[in-house]
Amino acid sequence: MELHSIIMENATTDIDRRLAVRLRALRADRGLTLDGLAERSGVSRSMISLVERGRAARPRPSSTGSPPGWA
């Protein structure tokens, strides 16, 4: 594996870990369950759980668009 790939993989892993910790902390601080956050956000409970565990697959750039209202 080339150096650039190793660096990018490590950076991505760190971002995933920090996002997982931050999401769980924010949800807990607001007293939300996974189901409560899912209902309020429109994101499935299983996806939130995957993100909080750092196991959510990243979408391909071609499959994502701007969030509603950001266009």
Confidence band, pLDDT 50/70/90 cuts, at residue 15: confident
pLDDT tens digits along 25-69: 999 999 999 999 999 999 999 999 999 998 887 665 555 565 555
What φ, ψ does residue 9 adopt, rounded to 5°?
A: -65, -40
Number of CB atoms found within 10 A of residue 48's CB = 21
Least confident range of 2-6, 14-18, 25-29, 58-62: 58-62
Are 21 and 52 in contact by the 8 Å Cβ rule? The answer is: no
pTM (global) more than 0.75: no
